Amino acid sequence: MNLSQVHADIFVPSKTPVAEALARTTHLCLAAHQDDIEIMAYHGIAECFASDERWFTGVVVTDGSGSPRAGRYANFSDEQMKAERRLEQRKAAKLGKFSAMLQLAHPSSLVKSAKEPRVRADIGAILEATAPHTVYLHNPADKHDTHIAVFLRCIEALRAMPKAKRPRQVYGCEVWRNLDWLLDEDKQVLDASANPKLAAKLVAVFQSQIAGGKRYDLATAGRRLANATFHTSHFTDKADALTWAMDLTPLVQNEKLSIEKFTLNYIDRLRADVAARLKKFN
């Protein structure tokens, strides 16, 4: 696996040869930053954690240099922060028993350029080596610019694959904008109830963010609990923790489908639902 950035990092917790670790991958998450994977794709991590047939591989596209920092990390340089976050991501991969963990180390500015071929080429090479049946991406309504840029580079790479090799299921997951606003029939329900101690430990690994001023550990657990409780109003909870996702499979299978139109259709359906409910009881 020849990745384009000199500081790109490939880590296999089991010490299996890289090619073998990639080839056995069934669930793949392509995320923007260190700790995004553990927030958005815990469903996949949990499904693979104790399985001999299912294997989870994570990919972080950017180098992690732009994160906020406070406390003991307040005076960290960008280079120190990148090294710290790279180490944290390796620890999470080991804890979660990932098949492999790849950190591509691209600057965010590079990812945001649609004309830059290296990001798309790296992602394409990983997709070819893994051929996963399930993929977790950022969702196209996320409010973080880098998340959207990574999402777009991933869609480009997925659409460049031969149709027969494209994944069977592609999820657009919540990080910087939760997806509770989706209509219930539009929600992909990802159960995150399994092994809550593991779920908590995975997010807690990223102390450079938590001690640095962002309580992602509490927020992630709270969001999952809120999703489970507020999922249905007239039934008791069926799960302790849920994450929502969009079904992006049609977007990957049909390269002629407009990404903007596909995304705005979800918003239009919400608007119509709100209008109809107000009209019904007015």
**What CA–CA distance (Å, rounded) separates 275 from 268?**
11
Q: What pLDDT shows up at residue 71?
A: 76
Residue reference for tokens 């930053």: 33
**What CA–CA distance (Å, rounded) separates 123 from 188?**
24
Mean pLDDT in residue range 185-211? 94
Residue 146 has pLDDT above 90, yes or no: yes
The type of residue at 169 is: Q
For the chain, the domain total comes to 1
**What CA–CA distance (Å, rounded) separates 134 from 245?**
13
Domain assignment present for 4: no
Under the banding of pLDDT at 50, 70 and 90, the label for residue 204 is very high
Domain assignment present for 2: no
Residue 8 has pLDDT above 60, yes or no: yes
Give the CATH number of the domain where residue 111 resides: 3.40.50.10320
Domain encompassing residue 186? 9-280
**Tokens describing residue 161:** 């694959």
DSSP-based three-state secondary structure for 93 = helix
Contact 7, 172 (CB under 8 A): no
Under the banding of pLDDT at 50, 70 and 90, the label for residue 119 is very high
Residue 151: how many other CB atoms lie within 10 Å: 23
From the list 276, 255, 252, 251, the residue with the least C-alpha distance to 265 is: 251
* Share of residues in the chain with pLDDT > 70 (%): 98
Q: What pLDDT shows up at residue 209?
A: 85
Domain assignment present for 1: no
From the list 147, 140, 136, the residue with the least C-alpha distance to 66 is: 147
**What CA–CA distance (Å, rounded) separates 77 from 73?**
9
Domain assignment present for 260: yes
**Tokens describing residue 178:** 């939760």
pTM for the model = 0.95
Q: What is the mean pLDDT of the chain?
A: 94
Domain assignment present for 112: yes
**What CA–CA distance (Å, rounded) separates 58 from 176?**
19
Domain assignment present for 86: yes
Mean pLDDT in residue range 26-38? 97
**What CA–CA distance (Å, rounded) separates 163 from 160?**
8
Which one has a higher pLDDT value, 207 or 246?
A: 246
Domain assignment present for 48: yes
Strands (E), the chain: 9-11, 27-31, 56-62, 100-106, 134-138, 169-173, 188-191, 242-247
Q: What pLDDT shows up at residue 237?
A: 63
Residue 66 has pLDDT above 80, yes or no: no
Residue 245 forms beta bridges with which residues?
A: 173, 188
Domain assignment present for 202: yes
Mean pLDDT in residue range 173-193? 96
| 3-state per-residue secondary structure call for 7-60 | CCEEECCCCCCHHHHHHCCCEEEEECCCCHHHHHCHHHHHHHHCCCCCCEEEEE
Mean pLDDT in residue range 86-100? 97
Under the banding of pLDDT at 50, 70 and 90, the label for residue 213 is confident
